[in-house]
């Protein structure tokens, strides 16, 4: 008997959906895109309305044959790829390959993979949204033209293997510009004076900071100025001039969208963007939960909308009331306003079943999935909780003609902070600083005056979290582009990471300077942000995608010709290591390959010696006595292994401790990764451990 055919992108998603639809439906996976532009050439027909020339992706022939056979035998074909531009484009390509009329109602979408959502979607098929397809196609064509036009110039004039991209070039320029700011930063000296005081009534000590004179703030820029103030207030009585008590509320953060999830996972979990999106994809597509079958645990993870369904809000409010009580439940549900530039097709990222708590699911999830699910679940519940409330006290203390200020803050009601507190890229302010019950006119005892020298600091380098935040604020790229952008600029050797911060390499600086000189529009933030708006307008159906590309291509082709003619050959010096080439005696240099940095002899092609970068840890292998080396997995994650691998299989993710062995058994000591701040013994039979 013929069945209905549903096509999705991944086998995990297929497994989850099959469970909901039953025997009359066959569910198959396309494994992502089935057609794309070939990698070997641009494949955009500039002369004929920028027509893209798609080909079947290598290795997809057998899969397409199976899909065609199943589609031919099916009563009806439903295309159920992801509910965004990319998903719509995959469905359009599938329709073309399978001979389905794009006007036919064959497209179904759901924001969450739950039984209700899937069953509802199957009863409401629609035609493929060609505006969405055009928006994806325009972005793809534009990025292909930029990349495949500029990259060959960089190959010819700088170095083989380089690339330029519309969003990656802007991201790289932001990092380079920040580095210039840091290099050109002139530190300014300033001084602070703290008065350590005591309230006579309560005997409580507190600190007041020098402010100024007669309501005017005075900035102290030298030791002489600070000493002069100290001299003038040394013998003065410290009197309370004013006391203001009040309350301050702190509201919960909104539910996650893609960019804020990426930022928070970076800050709180130390996840890269790629790692975050991989875990989120797995949570969305479905996990086997005992007693529930295969369940999609979160809503669609590529979204920039803060909208939440009424049902989800009511579920959250009900949970808050039962678990925390009425005091933690606001009188009405919180509604979060979505940014005007956002695409409001989906909800914010939230759990699909609130009753499946992180604790209940821990045994069903990988470590990464559990950590991310806990973050999403707690953030969502907290976003519907009551505000936190602080009691605040601000006091002005007079000393002669000068004023010192003391500020106190105490938690009165935790509210949402009982469950979740949003991370911050800056140092957190002091949560609780208590002041004694001061009264106007009372004299407080001066115990000590302390002056301290400080210098203004340059702006911090970008981390993944702050770079994503900046790209989002400036309207550069879209949530789905941040991960590949960061991966590309790192893989190309344009930037490196040190202590989670991005530093531009010499190569990155050279390429950015070339782009700024010859292709200023490509790296201009305002131009790129405006281009994003125009691409969005294609999705709305208000403009034709070909016209957008044509308007861009005219000036761009002129810049291209000028750059080709004017740009001279640029030599980027390789970074020299202290490793001597054992074949010819030269100092080896660092090169960038497919899997990151490696060492190569600068005498190429006469000397072709190359080898991986070896970092010794200064510790010995507990299995064979060889040197323990710091290594990297294929995914770039740091681990430690024996120099005699593969004959010795010693390997650990934890950091070996130098110059110290276990006091109990003499074995290797390891510093645990993550938040477990402790040292443990490698020997499983030894129970030695201590706090870090």
- Percentages helix, strand, coil for the chain (3-state, rounded to 5) are 35, 25, 40
What are the CA-CA distances from residue 301 to residues 64, 266, 284 (Å)? 27, 16, 7
CA 422 to chain centre: 15
Helix (H) or strand (E) holding 682: none
C-alpha 397/C-alpha 228 separation (Å) is 19
Q: How many residues belong to the chain?
A: 692
397-425 burial, b for 16+ CB within 10 Å, e for fewer? bbbeebbbebebbeeebbbbbebbbbeee
Q: In this structure, how many other beta carbons lie within 10 angstroms of the beta carbon of residue 459?
A: 10
Which two tokens mark 398? 């007079």
Q: Which is it for the CA torsion 586, 590, 591, 594, positive or negative?
A: positive
DSSP conformation class of 54: -
Which residue reads 């295969």 in tokens?
294
C-alpha 671/C-alpha 689 separation (Å) is 10
User: Is the bond leading into 605 cis (omega within 30 degrees of zero)?
Assistant: yes
Catalytic residue check, 324: no
The beta-carbon contacts of 8-12 under 8 Å, at least 24 apart in sequence, are 8/80, 8/81, 9/81, 9/82, 9/87, 9/90, 10/285, 12/282, 12/285, 12/286
DSSP conformation class of 220: B
Q: In this structure, how many other beta carbons lie within 10 angstroms of the beta carbon of residue 443?
A: 13
C-alpha 191/C-alpha 224 separation (Å) is 10
Of 523, 447, 454, nearest in space to 489 by CA: 523
Helix (H) or strand (E) holding 605: none
Which two tokens mark 316? 């959250």
Apex 149 CA angle, 148 and 152, nearest 5: 80
- CB within 8 Å of 684: residues ≥ 6 apart: none
Lateral strand order in the sheet of 689-691: 655-661, 668-671, 678-681, 689-691
Which two tokens mark 305? 């909308």
* Active-site entry in 54, 300, 328, 420: 300
Which 3 state secondary structure label does DSSP give 72? helix
DSSP conformation class of 363: G
Q: Judging by beta carbons within 10 Å of its beta carbon (0-12, 13-18, 19+), is residue 66 exposed, middle or buried?
A: exposed
Angle between helices 273-285 and 11-21 (to 10 degrees): 20
- CB within 8 Å of 318: residues ≥ 6 apart: none
Which two tokens mark 353? 């079943």
Report whether 56 contacts 157 (CB < 8 A).
Answer: no
Helix (H) or strand (E) holding 646: none
Apex 44 CA angle, 40 and 48, nearest 5: 150
Report whether 418 contacts 410 (CB < 8 A).
Answer: no
Report whether 429 contacts 468 (CB < 8 A).
Answer: no
Q: Judging by beta carbons within 10 Å of its beta carbon (0-12, 13-18, 19+), is residue 308 exposed, middle or buried?
A: buried
Catalytic residues: 300
């Amino acid at each position: 008997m013929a069945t209905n055919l549903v096509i999705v992108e991944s086998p995990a998603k297929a497994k989850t959906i099959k469970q909901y639809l039953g025997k009359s439906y066959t569910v198959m996976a396309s494994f992502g895109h089935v057609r794309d532009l070939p990698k070997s050439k641009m494949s955009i027909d500039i002369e004929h309305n920028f027509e893209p020339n798609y080909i079947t992706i290598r290795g997809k022939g057998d899969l397409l044959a199976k899909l065609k056979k199943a589609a031919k035998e099916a009563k009806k074909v439903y295309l159920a790829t992801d509910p965004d531009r990319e998903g719509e484009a995959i469905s359009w390509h599938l329709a073309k390959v399978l001979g389905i009329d794009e006007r036919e109602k064959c497209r179904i979408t759901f924001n969450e993979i739950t039984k209700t959502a899937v069953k509802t979607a199957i009863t409401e098929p629609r035609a493929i949204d060609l505006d969405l397809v055009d928006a994806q196609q325009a972005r793809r064509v534009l990025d292909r033209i930029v990349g495949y036009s500029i990259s060959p110039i960089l190959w010819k004039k700088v170095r083989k293997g380089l690339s330029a991209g519309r969003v990656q070039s802007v991201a790289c320029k932001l990092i380079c510009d920040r580095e210039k700011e840091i290099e050109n930063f002139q530190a300014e000296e300033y001084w602070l004076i703290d008065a350590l005081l005591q309230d006579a009534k309560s005997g409580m000590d507190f600190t007041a900071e020098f402010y100024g004179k007669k309501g005017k703030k005075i900035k102290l820029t030298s030791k002489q100025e600070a000493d002069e103030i100290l001299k003038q207030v040394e013998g003065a009585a410290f009197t309370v001039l004013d006391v203001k008590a009040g309350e301050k509320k702190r509201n919960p953060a909104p539910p996650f969208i893609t960019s804020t999830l990426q930022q928070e996972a970076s800050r709180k979990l130390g996840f890269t963007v790629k790692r975050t999106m991989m875990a989120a994809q797995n949570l969305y597509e479905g996990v086997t939960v005992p007693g529930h079958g295969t369940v999609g645990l979160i809503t669609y993870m590529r979204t920039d909308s803060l909208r939440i369904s009424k049902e989800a809000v009511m579920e959250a409010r009900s949970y808050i009331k039962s678990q925390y009580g009425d005091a933690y439940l606001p009188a009405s549900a919180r509604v979060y306003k979505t940014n005007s530039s956002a695409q409001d097709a989906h909800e914010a990222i939230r759990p699909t079943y609130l009753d499946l708590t992180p604790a209940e699911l821990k045994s069903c999830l990988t470590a990464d999935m559990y950590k991310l699910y806990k973050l999403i679940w707690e953030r969502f519940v907290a976003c519907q909780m009551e505000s936190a409330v602080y009691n605040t006290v601000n006091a002005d203390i007079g000393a002669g003609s000068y004023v010192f200020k003391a500020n106190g803050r105490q938690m009165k009601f935790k509210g949402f902070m009982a469950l979740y507190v949003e991370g911050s890229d800056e140092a957190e302010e002091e949560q609780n600083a208590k002041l004694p019950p001061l009264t106007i006119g009372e004299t407080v005892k001066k115990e000590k005056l302390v002056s301290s020298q400080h210098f203004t600091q340059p702006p911090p380098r970008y981390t993944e979290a702050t770079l994503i935040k900046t790209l989002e604020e400036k309207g550069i790229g879209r949530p789905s582009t941040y991960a590949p952008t960061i991966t590309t600029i790192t893989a190309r050797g344009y930037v490196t990471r040190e202590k989670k911060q991005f530093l531009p390499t010499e190569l990155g600086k050279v390429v950015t300077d070339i782009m700024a000189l010859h292709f200023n529009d490509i790296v201009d933030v305002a131009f790129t942000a405006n281009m994003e708006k125009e691409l969005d307008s294609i999705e709305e159906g208000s403009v034709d995608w070909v016209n957008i590309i044509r308007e861009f291509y005219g000036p761009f082709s002129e810049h291209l010709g000028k750059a080709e003619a004017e740009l001279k050959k640029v030599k980027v010096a390789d970074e020299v290591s202290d490793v001597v080439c054992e074949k010819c005696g030269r100092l080896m240099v660092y090169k960038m390959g497919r899997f990151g940095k490696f060492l190569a002899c600068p005498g190429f092609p006469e000397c072709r010696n190359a080898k991986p970068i070896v970092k010794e840890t200064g510790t010995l292998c507990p299995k064979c006595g060889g040197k323990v080396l710091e290594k990297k997995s294929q995914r770039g994650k740091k681990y430690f292994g024996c120099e005699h691998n593969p004959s010795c299989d010693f390997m650990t993710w934890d950091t070996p401790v130098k110059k110290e062995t276990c006091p109990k058994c003499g074995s290797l000591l390891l510093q645990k990764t993550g938040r477990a701040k402790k040292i443990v013994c490698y020997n499983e039979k030894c129970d030695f451990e201590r706090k870090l």
